[in-house]
Structure 1
Amino acid sequence: MTYTTRVAPSPTGDFHIGTARTAYFNWLAARASGGRFILRIDDTDLARNNHASIYVIHDCLDWLGLAPDAVYRQSHRRDIYDAAAAKLLDAGLAVRADNGAVLMKGGAAAPWHDLISGDQLPSAKAHDLARDQVLIKADGMPVYHFASVVDDIDLGVNLVIRGMDHLTNTFRHAGLYTALGAAMPDFAHVGLITMDGKKMSKRDAAASLLGYRDDGVDPDGMLNYLLRVGWGPRQDDKSMKIIDRDRAVSLFLDHGKMRASPAAMDLPKLASFDRKYKHMKRSA
């Protein structure tokens, strides 16, 4: 299958190392299948957007060599979201509140299949989150959940690789795909990168990708490290100690698997990859 994938960072701070891993996995799936890798900047939260962070997103992807095939900003696509909301309003599946917001009329979470963890059945809490959910806010901007689904449909995204922290969101999204008459993409939720047993937040010093660039870390060493945080080859032997970008493309889809379990941030391991790649480049 040919995959259209995407990475969807928000411009609200530093570029998280977990987002870098997600970007690499989606880039690999697109390149391995002859598909497209999309950068979608989720900038609908007007109160939290930081324009400088948009440049950071591009700087980080450029440093890693993960060039997207197309770039979109959600704040420039409001007409697409308005048209999708109008479709639901006309079908009686959504209602407009007195303050102008648009909400689903009822609605429920839906089961779906995760490529890593298997079949997913919604809990009572998932149904509560999906029921009567807001689609367009009173300020006219779409909420994250609605904009994400509409974009995936409009841009032809058919594979989404993202962190396990989005698992609950996918139940809400599944119902929206159904309401809009579209098939869900394939979803794969990988385990989170942790620090001291906890999910790494943007406040953690080790979470900022630009910090590694500024410290002189080799970008290919970083990619090799990120590949092994949540993915492993089916035959993991000495020949797999170094997996550069080209080799990763050939292995990622058919000769390895992603994992749902969390992975601890291993700074000594990253330093080891950094030394190996710098040595190889000096010797070339």
Structure 2
Amino acid sequence: MTKRFTTRIAPSPTGDFHLGTARTAYFNWLAARASGGRFILRIDDTDLARNNEDSVRVILECMDWLGLDHDDMFRQSDRLARYREVADALIRDGKAIIAENGGIVMRNGLAASWTDLIGGTQAPGPKNHDLASGQVLIKADGMPVYHFASVVDDIDSGVNLVIRGIDHHTNTFRHSAIYCALDAPMPDFAHLGLIMLDGKKMSKRDDAASLLSYRDAGVDPDAMLNFLLRLGWGPARDDKSMAIIDRDRALTLFLAEGRMRSSPAGFDTAKLASFDRKYKSRKAAAAASAELSA
């Protein structure tokens, strides 16, 4: 029987909702829905200086446009007392200390091995232990550091699979030390390859990265999902029958008949345009057929 996955997407409301976030959201949504699990939308809004309520609106609009429904939604800013409670428990257990500036720091934290569904067992090296040991949990201003808040949230939410970009690979070793300190099991992880544009990592600042720009240009949302699916996932049998993989078909294939990839994925504008034409043609034909049958 397939394991039921609880997954999440955790965008920060500090700018546009970009293609990389959209891909991560879709993959986590597919894993949750395909396994009969749960999909959570978490707003990582602890960066008070950069938070923007308009960006929260954009996140919700993008998720709605793509049709990625969620089972629960919360903001980290509503959980500050919970992060402090967990940090205080670590202090009482001798696993964290209060620094001179009033922040809270992990004491003698060690990174642990963890499992990547793409790359297998990942063992920490000396640099990973250096990053994990003495890492800040709560800043002097009382706000939690991303690494700490993320782990606490995932534990409390029952998240057992985290799909994210390979640029988070090092962060996972940091997080492993926090899981160990909290005596909590680590989820499974899958780190996807970066999306590349003109031979370089696609940046939030690239014009092509903003998801809303495609919605506003009239791109079909199902075409966008099919495009995103192929940026880091492929079916086990990749032939002409897999030229179009809509959302319903992706749900049947994603876990059982394909695999995610850690290799870079090239952004191809022409490929997106091709998907867009095909989906619009299919929908126009379906609408015409329905009209004739009415």
TM class by smaller structure: over 0.9
- AA at the equivalent of 1:244: D
Provide the C-alpha distance between the structure 2 equivalents of 1:80 and 1:153, rounded to a whole number of angstroms. Answer: 12
Pair 1:200 & 2:202 matched = yes
CA distance in 2, matches of 1:29, 1:126: 28
Q: Which runs of 4+ in 1 moved over 2 A?
A: none
Q: Quote the Cα distance in structure 1 between the aligned partners of 2:15 and 2:191.
A: 23
- Could you tell me which residue of structure 2 aligns to residue 182 of structure 1? 184
| 1:130 aligns to 2:147 (yes or no) | no
Identify the match of residue 29 of structure 1 among 28, 31, 35.
31
| Residue of 235, 256, 259 corresponding to 2:258 | 256
Structure 1 CA distance for aligned equivalents of residues 96 and 175 of structure 2: 15
* TM-score normalized with structure 1 length: 0.99
Matches of 2:31 and 2:204, distance apart in 1: 26
- 1:105 corresponds to which residue? 107
Alignment-derived partner of residue 165 in structure 1: 167
* Partner residue in 2 for 1:154: 156
Deviation by residue 1:33-63 (Cα, 9 ceiling, x = unmatched): 1011000111111111111100000000000
Unaligned 5+ segments in structure 2 are 287-294
Q: Aligned-pair distance for 1:238?
A: 1.1
SS at match of 2:162: strand
| Paired residues for 1:37-48 under 5 Å | 37-48=39-50
Cα deviation for residue 123 of structure 1 reads 2.4
Alpha-carbon distance, 1:109 to partner:
1.5
For residue 77 of structure 1, give the secondary structure of its aligned residue in structure 2. Answer: helix
Q: Once structures 1 and 2 are overlaid, which stretch shifts more, 200-209 or 123-132?
A: 123-132
Report the TM-score, using the length of structure 2 for normalisation: 0.95
Alignment of 1:62-77 (within 5 A): 62-77=64-79
C-alpha separation between the residues in 2 aligned to 1:237 and 1:38? 33
Aligned to 1:60: 62
Taking the aligned partners of 1:132 and 1:238, their CA distance within structure 2 comes to 53
Secondary structure at 1:181 match in 2:
coil
User: Percent of pairs identical after alignment?
Assistant: 70
Match of 1:78 among 77, 80, 87: 80
Cα distance in 2 for partners of 1:199, 1:72 equals 30
Q: Give the 3-state SS of the residue equivalent to 2:218 in structure 1.
A: coil
Counterpart residue identity of residue 104, structure 2: V
From 229, 239, 242, give the equivalent of 2:241. 239
Letter in 2 for 1:150: V
Aligned length: 284
Tell me, in whole angstroms, the C-alpha distance in 2 between the residues paired with 1:192 and 1:73. 27
Amino acid at match of 2:230: R
- The amino acid across from 1:182 in the alignment is A
CA RMSD of aligned residues (A): 0.7
Unaligned residue ranges in structure 1 (runs of 5+): none
Q: CA deviation at 1:32?
A: 0.3
